[in-house]
Amino acid sequence: MLEKKLSTSGTPDLKKMQEVVIDFRTKIYIGLNENPELAREKYLSRFTRMKKF
């Protein structure tokens, strides 16, 4: 008989992450030891690369 595997992945604990505000309606969460300015630049660079194509 086949048995279903239970999913063990859960939601990340936001208490262990820091919030980075990109604009008034966009927020991302990164690790506590990561650089928020670098994370903001990386997030925004994704969309500028997409617009070039």
- Give CA 28 to chain center in angstroms: 5
In 3-state terms, the chain is what percent helix, strand and coil (to 5)?
Answer: 40, 25, 40
Query: Can you give the residue ranges of every domain in the chain?
Result: 16-52
How confident is residue 48, by pLDDT bands cut at 50, 70 and 90?
A: confident
Is the whole model's pTM more than 0.75, yes or no?
no
| Torsion-angle region of 37 (φ positive above 0: left; ψ -120 to 50: alpha; else: beta) | alpha
Residue-wise pLDDT tens digits, 13-39: 999 999 999 999 999 999 999 999 999
